[in-house]
Structure 1
Amino acid sequence: MENGQLGAGQFFILIFGYILGTSFFFSPGGLIGVAKQDAWIIPLWAGAAGVLLSLLWIKLASLYPGLTIVQICTQAAGKGIGGLFALLYIGYFVFLSGFIIRNLGDFMKQTLFPLTPLTVFHVMFLLIICYAVIKGIEAIARTTQLLFPLVVLIFLFVFFIALSEWNWDRFQGMFRMNVWKTMKETRSIIGYPFMEALVFMMLFPYVRSKIKASLILGIVVATLLLSGTVFFTIGVLGVTRASHDTYPLFVIVQEIHIGTFFEHLESTMALILLCAIFIKLTVIYYCASLGLCQLFRVDNRSWLAFSLILLISGLSLGYDNVLENIEFSKRYDFEYTLIFAIVIPSLLLLITWIKRLAGKHKAGYSS
């Protein structure tokens, strides 16, 4: 089992990297297609919802200090119902891992290696992830600390170069969206990535201090940067082009030309995406492995981690193409993630309060 410890700074970087993760790359096009020039506003209200949800998770964790969400399920609801809830969470982590690795495979195949089978990308990347998971949460946190400055510096480099294509005229027509209709059509962004942050309930016991501050600050900073990324995409590409490209940031980098020296920089964007997916997928993969160990009382997670490679790689092939992946996320991700982010934690809170009230009444009656 895990004995590692995380500092508040490490926990913040994990949260920030996880939430921003793949969303800064895959979300802008869809949001711009719905909300046009106002798309940059959508991550702000979605992030506000994410902060409110984090308070629910923190409240539940405070009632069971030192326990992960898998352990809280069995502690609060018993081995039967609680075990079922715990198994559902583990299944969700595994499914989410397959969803993310498929995003990576689709991107690499469509943009850089069109003749390479998807499974090659999946297995090669999952082997690296599995190794990191076996090494433990401290190794994952230190690796994230190492990759974080690299991702930020490369992104800022691309940002400042691409500003040469900026045009404020592309924002004409702002603040004309139908708020309720837009919120309904873009509700999936609450599920992906903000509700997905519930996986950090698996890591709460390993954080030494400032869990609440680190979690909320990570969500807030990631929200602002996601909003800024959408704003940047509109200003450089415009609404029409950005909404019709699956990977608008990749298109921006492809078109950067400064003389004959700075050109064909798309590999830099691929590097950023690989690092971002590594951070996000490692966290989820680790939580799935840890959850299985805790639920079935397994001391060594190595074989479980290796076994998950085959399961996750197989699940990732459940989509025919990237469009089907995007459509599923748009239509069902919010409702699907709602079960794990709100419904089950609320039920666990309710069960806990009922049990404590019943215990108080029983103690008062016996006295």
Structure 2
Amino acid sequence: MKVQPREQITATQLGFLLITFVISTIILTVPGIMVMFGKQNSWISFFPASLTGLLSIWVMITLGKRYPGLTITQYSSRIVGKWLGALLGINYIYYWFISITTITMQHVGFVSTLLLPQSPHIVGSLTFLVLCAIAVLTGIEVIARCNELISIIILVSLLPLLILTAGIGDFNQLRPVLGDGVVPVLQGAVSPAGGFMNQLFILGWLYPYLNQPHKARKVSLIALTSIFVIIVAIVLLTITVLGPLTGKLTYSFLSVIQYIGITGSFERLEAVAVSIWVMGCFVKVAICLFILCLCVCHLFGIRNYREIVLPVTMMSLVGSVWIFKNGSELLNYLAFTFPLLAFFNQSFLPLLLLTIDSIKRRGRQSLL
């Protein structure tokens, strides 16, 4: 049995990490992507999409209980063998590298558009990734403690924005309900289901660091419920304000916040949105970078992940300025490619590992 890692996080910290990780980059971008497909009924799409979140929680916690103290890249070798396990490890290294570079480019593009239009992207990427690398060097326990405060700030900042939006929204924009049938709703569910709701599969790397593993299921379900409520509210209220225009805007919820500042007695409310985005992206990339370093260490047998944080960060910096030529390519990737890639890595592969492991266990029991 693998010895429990020295760094440990509490169940509450795990719940906050899951919430921040999922909602940090989608509160401003996901309404536009979903309305492209689901139109005025896109908020309904989160009901089927949330099923992938439930699947991720069940699969990762079940595997975590069977292999205590091990991450998914470690116990995969015990399930499918050394070589296939190594291939799976390489696949996840690639996946997390792409995730870091994509989120970093999203972050820099967002900040450049609103605040620093003349600043070179590489400068923004470098400063952002260096801060994330420093956080990873301090360890997942410090990241989790820091995120407790950040999560509370994000949630407290979101609440008044949602209340103000509800006051100016036109709920007739949500009609007709299912006017085009169920198909557009299911199409709108692909993006959050494939790319966002099942991001709870980070439990595959965080579960071994939980000091009370028996609370993982409960806190994960609470986190999923919170994520569901927040995102449904954001998408629903964005549609009531912008209507069909939602699907044509990259940062549609940001446009709603700016509209509140124009029509109401509050000004420059987009500063709140920028703060939420920056804090959330910081935590998300720090977690991704931590997981990427773990994957590399497990593949090559490196004991201390801190030894490779800086080189991995520099590689991510190169990727963030090289992988996409412009914002249009990034948006197409997020809308069409990423959901499929994410579904394959976050849902299909873990479920396949669980299936193979269950078959092998039943086979051994039948032999006995």
Of the three residues 307, 310, 313, the one matched with 2:311 is 307
Kindly indicate whether residue 257 of structure 2 is the aligned counterpart of residue 235 of structure 1: no
Letter in 2 for 1:229: I
What is the match of residue 356 of structure 1? 361
1:119-268 pair list within 5 angstroms: 119-184=122-187, 186-209=189-212, 210-237=215-242, 239-257=243-261, 262-268=266-272
What is the match of residue 74 of structure 1? 77
Once residues 345 and 209 of structure 2 are traced to their aligned partners in structure 1, the CA distance between those partners, rounded to angstroms, is: 21
Q: Verify the 8 A CA contact 1:98 1:316 in the aligned structure 2.
A: yes
Q: SS at the partner of 1:115? A: coil
Question: How far is 1:231 from its partner?
Answer: 0.8
Of the three residues 312, 322, 331, the one matched with 2:327 is 322
The Cα offsets for residues 78-108 of structure 1, whole Å up to 9 and x where unpaired, read as 2211111122112211211111111111111
Once residues 154 and 191 of structure 2 are traced to their aligned partners in structure 1, the CA distance between those partners, rounded to angstroms, is: 26
State the TM-score, normalizing by the size of structure 2.
0.91
Q: Percent identity between the aligned chains?
A: 24
- What RMSD, in angstroms, separates the aligned Cα atoms of the two structures? 2.2
Q: Verify the 8 A CA contact 1:16 1:219 in the aligned structure 2.
A: yes
Once residues 355 and 244 of structure 2 are traced to their aligned partners in structure 1, the CA distance between those partners, rounded to angstroms, is: 47
What is the match of residue 285 of structure 1? 289
1:82-121 pair list within 5 angstroms: 82-121=85-124
- C-alpha distance 257-54 of structure 1, shift in aligned 2 (>3 A): closer
- C-alpha distance 59-177 of structure 1, shift in aligned 2 (>3 A): farther
Question: How far is 1:57 from its partner?
Answer: 2.1
Q: Verify the 8 A CA contact 2:55 2:347 in the aligned structure 1.
A: no
Once residues 185 and 157 of structure 1 are traced to their aligned partners in structure 2, the CA distance between those partners, rounded to angstroms, is: 27
Of the three residues 338, 355, 358, the one matched with 2:343 is 338
Kindly indicate whether residue 88 of structure 2 is the aligned counterpart of residue 65 of structure 1: no
Of the three residues 23, 36, 47, the one matched with 1:33 is 36
Once residues 84 and 96 of structure 2 are traced to their aligned partners in structure 1, the CA distance between those partners, rounded to angstroms, is: 19
- C-alpha distance 122-33 of structure 1, shift in aligned 2 (>3 A): same
Kindly indicate whether residue 295 of structure 2 is the aligned counterpart of residue 297 of structure 1: no
Question: How far is 1:269 from its partner?
Answer: 1.0
Q: Verify the 8 A CA contact 1:171 1:234 in the aligned structure 2.
A: yes
- C-alpha distance 179-186 of structure 1, shift in aligned 2 (>3 A): same
Q: Verify the 8 A CA contact 1:106 1:321 in the aligned structure 2.
A: no
Q: Verify the 8 A CA contact 1:8 1:211 in the aligned structure 2.
A: yes
Question: How far is 1:358 from its partner?
Answer: 4.5
- C-alpha distance 259-242 of structure 1, shift in aligned 2 (>3 A): closer
5+ long unaligned stretches in structure 1: none
Question: How far is 1:128 from its partner?
Answer: 0.8
Question: How far is 1:171 from its partner?
Answer: 2.5
Q: SS at the partner of 1:263? A: coil
Once residues 44 and 360 of structure 1 are traced to their aligned partners in structure 2, the CA distance between those partners, rounded to angstroms, is: 38
Q: SS at the partner of 2:178? A: coil
Q: SS at the partner of 1:25? A: coil
Once residues 337 and 172 of structure 1 are traced to their aligned partners in structure 2, the CA distance between those partners, rounded to angstroms, is: 32
- C-alpha distance 242-63 of structure 1, shift in aligned 2 (>3 A): same
Q: Which moved more, 1:80-89 or 1:313-322?
A: 313-322
- C-alpha distance 4-167 of structure 1, shift in aligned 2 (>3 A): same
5+ long unaligned stretches in structure 2: none
Q: Verify the 8 A CA contact 2:43 2:232 in the aligned structure 1.
A: yes
State the TM-score, normalizing by the size of structure 1.
0.91
| Runs of at least 4 residues off by over 6 Å | 258-261
Letter in 2 for 1:224: V
Q: Verify the 8 A CA contact 1:130 1:305 in the aligned structure 2.
A: yes
Once residues 116 and 344 of structure 1 are traced to their aligned partners in structure 2, the CA distance between those partners, rounded to angstroms, is: 40
- C-alpha distance 346-186 of structure 1, shift in aligned 2 (>3 A): closer
Q: Verify the 8 A CA contact 1:89 1:340 in the aligned structure 2.
A: yes
Once residues 132 and 253 of structure 2 are traced to their aligned partners in structure 1, the CA distance between those partners, rounded to angstroms, is: 25
